[in-house]
Amino acid sequence: MILQKAGRGVLGAAALVCFVAGALAQVPTSKHVILVINENTSYNDVMANMPWLTGEGNTHGYATKYLSDNGGSLLDYLWLASGSCHSKANCALPSGTHDFNCNGNDCYHPGTATTDPITDNNIFREMNNHGISWKVYAQSYAKAGGTPTTPDNHNGTAYYRRHNGATWYSDILNNTNGSASRIVDLSQLAADLAKGTLPHFLIIVPDGNHDAHDCPVGMSSCTTGQKLAAVDAFLSSTLGPILATPDFQPGGDGLAIVTFDECGGGTNAGCGASVYTALIGPKVTPHTVSRATYKHENTLRTMLDSLGIRSYPGASATASDMSDFFSTGGIKPHVIVSDPASGSTMSSPVSIQATAQASPGHSISGWWVYVDNVGVYKSGAVASISPNIAMNSGAHKVVVRAWDSSGNFGDQTLTLSVNATKPTVKVVTPSNNATAGSPVNLRASATPSSGQTVTGWWVYVDGKATYKGAAITSINTNLKMSTGAHKVVVRAWDTSGNYGDHTIAVTIN
């Protein structure tokens, strides 16, 4: 069957990937950014079993609606490093990323057991390019073998390469800028901390006994509570001393993010993909409870902003940063959306009218519009915008955001419902259930949805495309049909991207 694709999604993000916002970051820059990733645990289980981590989250901030991207550990670690799962079989590949045959355990050359190094852009490459120091501190790494290609559980350890996202990128595998040597055993962390030589960015990689993947040391079977108690104790003893340093005390600017790869045995296996994620640091607004929908690409975007990097790999190019965790000190532009009103029901495309007033002594420097946390429109240093934004039918959260030269931004958030608008099609002749000879004269007209124009036609006879029409409001054609009963679908599209149908039955004598 030949069918024209129906419907139009939110505006493609491909055109936005190259946008580099020199000063459009709400997230404060930091001298020390830390990422810790744990395993396979739902939000509710963390809340019930990890008092140290949730205590830090309550003091600083945590997200209640943070969703994992994929089922399968490695895929989520890649999202956190390069904004893609790098597997067309497992995700829609974000613009600028490619298929490297990855799954939850490895990235293989097709038909082989040979790793396919990921050559796409990633946070490690960006840090090398910007001269930013970094290290990955991996537990049991030295005992397992101490190389980027050391496999899971090597030498009887609980080390998992698939939980060490850095080891899958060509930058590390080719030792670009000495990158391979920046993956070290966790034992070096205490020494670097004592000497005051912690890098600008660090990832802490617990082994399977301490990240909730496996049971704690010495236990062959265990409960979820016992697994998480071991994780909580590890975080307290490993991350706790860093949080006690001046960079993470009042007046400092350190940022630590603790998250989980996925909620359980797959992103939708009974826990809705929600995982606990805490942002910890003196620049985090105390007691923040974020109810925004975030994913791993939002964490990647936030880390890059905190590092002062404005080149965003993969989906982080259009993901919003987690700016609701940080305050602006009251200095920010004021955004006014005059149309549409929040709560409105609209047709697609949605016309947005917005103006912004800069904070005193500053000027507006740029705009973004986010639909459901995806950047769909950008503009430069103008005081007002009036974009028309295509949206799928259904409910949407729309954030209209303007920055000014202070480096801060202001928002106005709308909730909108978009109608499934479509043109109306009327078959003039033949009438429904008519009996006729072949060829059958078919005449039909179409009325586009409000504000739209007709863009094309198709006629299907018993599911087979038999006629294609141009951007006109009516058609008049003769259709050859075999003797017997037929179902005829007459379909017209308009500029909303949607279509309308009129279906009739015809019998050929």
The string of DSSP codes covering 319-363 is BPP-GGGB--TT---EEEEEESPTT-EEPSSEE-EEEEEPPTT--
Q: Which CATH number characterizes residue 85's domain?
A: 3.40.720.10
- Residues paired with 35 in a beta bridge: 203, 257
Residue 14 pLDDT greater than 50, yes or no: no
For residues 248 and 239, is the Cβ–Cβ distance under 8 A? no
The tens digit of pLDDT for each residue in 344-373 reads 888 788 899 999 988 878 899 999 999 988
| Structural domain of 42 | 27-320
What is the band of 268 on the pLDDT scale with cuts at 50, 70, 90?
low
| Residues 300 and 346 both lie in one domain | no
Task: Provide the pLDDT for residue 408.
Answer: 81
| Residues 414 and 444 both lie in one domain | no
Task: Provide the pLDDT for residue 286.
Answer: 92
Mean pLDDT taken over the chain = 89
| Residues 380 and 494 both lie in one domain | no
Number of domains in the chain: 3
| Residues 101 and 237 both lie in one domain | yes
Mean pLDDT is lowest, of 202-206, 207-211, 403-407, for: 403-407
Q: Which CATH number characterizes residue 369's domain?
A: 2.60.40.10
* Residue 19, in any domain of the structure: no
Residue 60 pLDDT greater than 90, yes or no: yes
What is the distance between the alpha carbons of residues 377 and 361, in angstroms, rounded to a whole number?
26
Peptide bond into 333 cis (omega under 30): no
Q: Which of 75-84, 338-347, 395-404 has the highest mean pLDDT?
A: 75-84
Residue 1 pLDDT greater than 60, yes or no: no
Instruction: Say if strands 201-205 and 33-38 run parallel, antiparallel, or are unpaired.
Output: parallel
What letter would DSSP give residue 269? S
| Residues 372 and 395 both lie in one domain | yes
Return the HEC string of 359-411: CCCCCEEEEEEEECCEEEEEECCCCEECCEECCCCEEEEEEEEEEECCCCEEE
The tens digit of pLDDT for each residue in 397-409 reads 999 999 888 778 8
* Residue 326, in any domain of the structure: no
Task: Provide the pLDDT for residue 2.
Answer: 32
CA angle, residues 196, 80, 103, in degrees to nearest 5? 130
* Residue 58, in any domain of the structure: yes
Mean pLDDT is lowest, of 217-226, 397-406, 459-468, for: 397-406
Collapse the DSSP code of 88 into the 3-class scheme (helix H, G, I; strand E, B; otherwise coil) and give the result: coil
| Residues 414 and 431 both lie in one domain | no
